[in-house]
Chain A
Amino acid sequence: GAVVSQHPSRVICKSGTSVKIECRSLDFQATTMFWYRQFPKQSLMLMATSNEGSKATYEQGVEKDKFLINHASLTLSTLTVTSAHPEDSSFYICSAADFFEQYFGPGTRLTVT
C-alpha cells in the first residue's frame, strides 16, 4: 500500500523555539494532505487541510499563525509549530490522500520543555 513518512519521529525543543515537521507521500502524489493532533489518551483531532500550491484550511480553534503549513509539492507538506510552548506538546500525525484513499503517517511526538 501507499506509504507516508514523517520526519522527525520524535523531537524535543525548548519553549519559544520553532519546530518543523515534514510529511511525505513516498510512492504517490497526494492531492490533499491533512494534519492531525492527538493529546495523551485522547482521539485524533483534525487541525488543517492543505492542498498543493494553495493556502491551508484550518479547523476552528487552530491558530494559523502558530501552526504554519506549507504544501510545496504533491509529495511534501510541512507543519511548523512556531514559538512552541509546553502545551503544544503532542503527537502530530499527517495523512495524504490520493483520489481513492487516505494514508496516515507514523506520527511525530513533539515535546516542548
Chain B
Amino acid sequence: SQELEQSPQSLIVQEGKNLTINCTSSKTLYGLYWYKQKYGEGLIFLMMLQKGGEEKSHEKITAKLDEKKQQSSLHITASQPSHAGIYLCGADNSGTYKYIFGTGTRLKVLA
C-alpha cells in the first residue's frame, strides 16, 4: 500500500528563517495536497499539485512536485510565528478522494 513519509518530523526555527518540509511517496501520486493543522483543530487547505514539475506559491509558502510525481516539498520563506502548526501532506493516488496522509511535521517558530 502507498505510504507518505514526511521529514522532518518536527522543526523549530527562529522567526525570519526559511524552512523546507519534504513529503515522499512510495508510488506515483495522482494528486498531492498540503494542509496546515493547528493542534486539535481541523485542516486548512494550502495547495494542491497535480502535474509533474508543478510549483505553486501563496504568500510566503511555495510547494513543488517533482517530475516523477513522487516527492513534494513545502518551502516557507521568512517564517513567522503564525506559520506554527502541523503541516500534513495528503495524497489521492487513484482519483477517488480516498486520501492518505503523511506523518506530519510539527513546526514551531520562535519570536
Interface residues of A (CB under 8 A from B): 1, 6, 32, 34, 36, 41-46, 49, 91, 93, 95, 97, 102-107, 109
B100 within 8 A of A: yes
Q: How far is the CB of B6 from chain A (nearest CB, A)?
A: 8
User: Which chain A residues lie closer than 8 Å to B101 at the CB level?
Assistant: 43-45
> Could you mark each residue 44-57 of chain B with 1 if its beta carbon is under 8 Å from any beta carbon of chain A, else 0?
01000000000000
Taking a contact as CB atoms under 8 Å apart, the answer to whether B104 and A104 are in contact is no
Q: How far is the CB of B38 from chain A (nearest CB, A)?
A: 10
B110 within 8 A of A: no
Taking a contact as CB atoms under 8 Å apart, the answer to whether B97 and A102 are in contact is yes
Q: A34-B97, A102-B97 known; 18 other A-B pairs, CB under 8 Å?
A: A1-B45, A36-B99, A41-B104, A42-B104, A43-B104, A44-B43, A44-B88, A44-B99, A46-B98, A46-B99, A93-B43, A95-B99, A97-B97, A102-B99, A104-B42, A105-B42, A107-B40, A107-B41
Taking a contact as CB atoms under 8 Å apart, the answer to whether A34 and B99 are in contact is yes
Q: How far is the CA of A45 from the CA of B90 in the complex (A)?
A: 11
Bin chain B's interface residue count.
10 to 19
Using CB atoms, name the residue of chain A closest to B6: A43
Given A43-B88, A43-B102, the answer on whether A109 and B40 have CB atoms closer than 8 Å is yes
Using CB atoms, name the residue of chain B closest to A93: B42
Q: How far is the CB of B46 from chain A (nearest CB, A)?
A: 12
Taking a contact as CB atoms under 8 Å apart, the answer to whether A43 and B103 are in contact is yes
Q: How far is the CB of A16 from chain B (nearest CB, A)?
A: 25
Q: List 28 A-B contacts (CB under 8 A).
A: A1-B45, A34-B99, A36-B99, A41-B104, A42-B103, A42-B104, A43-B88, A43-B102, A44-B43, A44-B90, A44-B101, A45-B101, A46-B99, A46-B100, A49-B98, A91-B40, A93-B43, A95-B99, A102-B99, A104-B42, A104-B43, A104-B45, A105-B42, A106-B41, A106-B42, A107-B41, A107-B42, A109-B40
